[in-house]
Structure 1
Amino acid sequence: MKTLILAGGAGTRLAPLTSNIPKPMLPIGGKPTIEHVIENLKGAGLQDFIIVVGYKKDQIMDFLGNGYDFGCNIEYIEQKRIENIEAAILCAKKTLEEESEFLISHADIFTEPELIKRAIKQYNELEADGIVSVTLVDDPSFYGIVDLYPDAKIKRIIEKPAKGKEPSNFAAAGIYIFRPELLKQLSEDKKLDRAIDNIIEKNGNIYASVWEKDWVEIRFPWDLLKANEYVLEKEVKGKGVRISESAKISEKAIIRGPVIISDNVEIRSGALVRGPCFIGENVFIGNNCLIRTNSTIDKNCSIGFGVEIRNSILFEGTAIGRLSFIGDSVIGKNVEFRAGISTSNLPFDKRLKEIKETGNIKMNLDGQEVTIPIEKFGAMIGDNVLISNNVSINAGKKIGENSIIMPNILIDQDIESNTIVTSVHKLDIKPK
């Protein structure tokens, strides 16, 4: 069975992180997202892939090549006009309409091969016209929601239903199996949910394959932290401490819990690394640092004296200056934090109990203010940003790529790319 992987989108909700890199190439747990996706598909016995590329396509194609290095076969189809999932699928119409059936996968889902195996098995056993993998979600308003009969046959699919009008909490999980009939119907209807509904109306038997275990789809910035936690739980936790022979670890450093420490890492005296964590190649961690649960530090990063990093992702080449705190944040490539930088991961509010219960962190995504559905979220920093000494960044704020933040500033709003931020302070000096 051939697999169509949809990797052409621009990932605008993840800007500024996607300003220089396509979403499928964002690193999670030390590997690009699309590599995790391909590993899962291969684990389900699939090896012939058609990847729809578009935004910054060369990065994906250069990394994966023809698939030989990854034990699979890959061909590419370019989506010249980046629109939506339906347009991406129809890019492959000529290729897929010759197949008896095909599997469609999003390029940003983290799960187990068993989800895919289960969908294939049910497709064959039920002699179905289509299978949609589904999983339970807390907030259906973010997803395509599936209305089911008791036997898991699909009644209809509703894209992002209004709150209070959700037919269920079962969301489409980014894996589909269909016959070429879908392509014909999609050409007419232009919307995937409508095309599936019309196949059902024509007595097509389309079933949901229900997945009750962990699953993450990267739609929003906080999903990067969820995906990172998922990968570290699967690939690091329970496997002890794995330290490269070329790593230099001080006898007075403490490594506790499941941790991967890669080649040529140096960890100085007094540092504590508490897993699950991933430390990439050529990383320097200075004296008295605390690197703790669910943090990924990619290759060629430098962490200065007394820095604390919690539940965060640092892309390659980033330097964090002494006595800084990075919490629940995602930091792009080649970012430089000078000394004493703090990323707040909770809003400042006296009603702390209410914050824990409801979540008050707001974030601007594609021009809309969104309430973040997790308790803590820090900052999202684009590539090549320089932040000077003693800067504080409020929860949920973004700083665009190539920007410079001057010293002693509170960042309480999003900062556009390619800007310099300064603050004028006037001393008021009076006799005592």
Structure 2
Amino acid sequence: MIKIKDMYSLDETIAADLFKDKDYPWEVLKSIGEFIVSLGEKLSPDEYDKRGDNVWIAKDAKVFDSAYINGPCIIDHEAEVRQCAFIRGNAIVGKNCVVGNSTELKNVVLFNNVQVPHYNYVGDSVLGFKSHMGAGSITSNVKSDKTLVTVKCGDEKIETGLKKFGAMLGDHVEVGCNSVLNPGTVVGSNSNIYPLSMVRGVVPSDSIYKKADDIVRKEN
């Protein structure tokens, strides 16, 4: 349920090769920057402009003048990076994505059609196809005691070996406004998170998260 094959449509990202030979999505976090540089050098100059150090932007993407983009970074076709967005580096922004006003990205993969449109922080995370984070919702990517992050799935604890780990959102995940996704959060595909939620651990696919002790299956 929390493996790459269960959560993501790899034909919906320019970064499909990044996920090959890996089981869990967080295993890509250490390799995003290196992958971007390698892939960027292969992108067609007829389709992508190279701007500055290791920043490739599709010619049909819309990037507002006040947006800040640091490399390594790839912004794919028809994506929109709005006013005052802050992309700190190691970011892949997929086709038709929206990175909105005052949204900050760092060490992330956004699959195609992802929307982080209003005051979001997304760090050390992977957001699947057509996932959406409501206004003010954020990923918290470092534990307060600075220890390594574990993923808690029922009674099982999976050691990640990572100090920084935000959230893994599967395809078609909806996160409600002003929610906090704590370090090590994994949300299965087609699930919804209520607004103002504090999420930790694994939320199964096809679920509605109301609060920690109230997660219900979606009705068909």
For 1:298, the equivalent position in structure 2 comes to 94
Provide the identity percentage: 25
For 2:114, the equivalent position in structure 1 comes to 318
Q: 21, 30, 35: which one pairs with 2:9?
A: 21
For 1:348, give the aligned amino acid.
S
More strand per residue: 2
For 1:235, give the aligned amino acid.
L
Q: 335, 357, 361: which one pairs with 2:131?
A: 335
CA distance in 2, matches of 1:227, 1:295: 11
For 1:317, give the aligned amino acid.
N
For 1:369, the equivalent position in structure 2 comes to 157
CA distance 1:398–1:13, shift in 2 (3 Å): closer
- What is the 5 A alignment of 1:1-16? 14-15=3-4
SS of 2:118's equivalent in the other structure is coil
Kept after mapping to 2: 8 A contact 1:218/1:227 = no
SS of 1:329's equivalent in the other structure is strand
* 1:32 aligned onto 2:16: yes
For 2:203, the equivalent position in structure 1 comes to 415
Deviation at 1:369, TM superposition (A): 1.1
CA RMSD of aligned residues (A): 2.8
* 1:259 aligned onto 2:94: no
For 2:114, give the aligned amino acid.
T
For 2:37, the equivalent position in structure 1 comes to 233
Matched residue count:
209
Cα offsets for 1:116-148 (capped at 9, x unmatched): xxxxxxxxxxxxxxxxxxxxxxxxxxxxxxxxx
CA distance in 2, matches of 1:270, 1:410: 31
CA distance 1:319–1:380, shift in 2 (3 Å): same
- What is the 5 A alignment of 1:175-186? none
TM-score, normalization by structure 1: 0.44
CA distance in 2, matches of 1:264, 1:327: 26
Kept after mapping to 2: 8 A contact 1:321/1:339 = yes
- What is the 5 A alignment of 1:364-403? 364=152, 368-403=156-191
For 1:231, give the aligned amino acid.
F
SS of 1:383's equivalent in the other structure is coil
SS of 1:311's equivalent in the other structure is strand
Kept after mapping to 2: 8 A contact 1:271/1:286 = yes
* 1:307 aligned onto 2:85: no
For 2:25, the equivalent position in structure 1 comes to 221
Kept after mapping to 2: 8 A contact 1:13/1:366 = no
Kept after mapping to 2: 8 A contact 1:256/1:273 = no
Segments of 5+ residues of structure 1 without an aligned counterpart are: 1-11, 37-106, 109-216, 248-254, 350-354, 424-432
CA distance in 1, matches of 2:46, 2:115: 22
SS of 1:232's equivalent in the other structure is helix
Deviation at 1:18, TM superposition (A): 2.9
Q: Larger relative CO (CA 8 A, sep 6+): 1 or 2?
A: 2
CA distance 1:414–1:236, shift in 2 (3 Å): same
CA distance in 1, matches of 2:126, 2:186: 10
TM-score, normalization by structure 2: 0.83
More helix per residue: 1
For 1:276, the equivalent position in structure 2 comes to 72
CA distance 1:277–1:367, shift in 2 (3 Å): farther
Larger radius of gyration: 1
Deviation at 1:414, TM superposition (A): 1.7
For 1:348, the equivalent position in structure 2 comes to 144
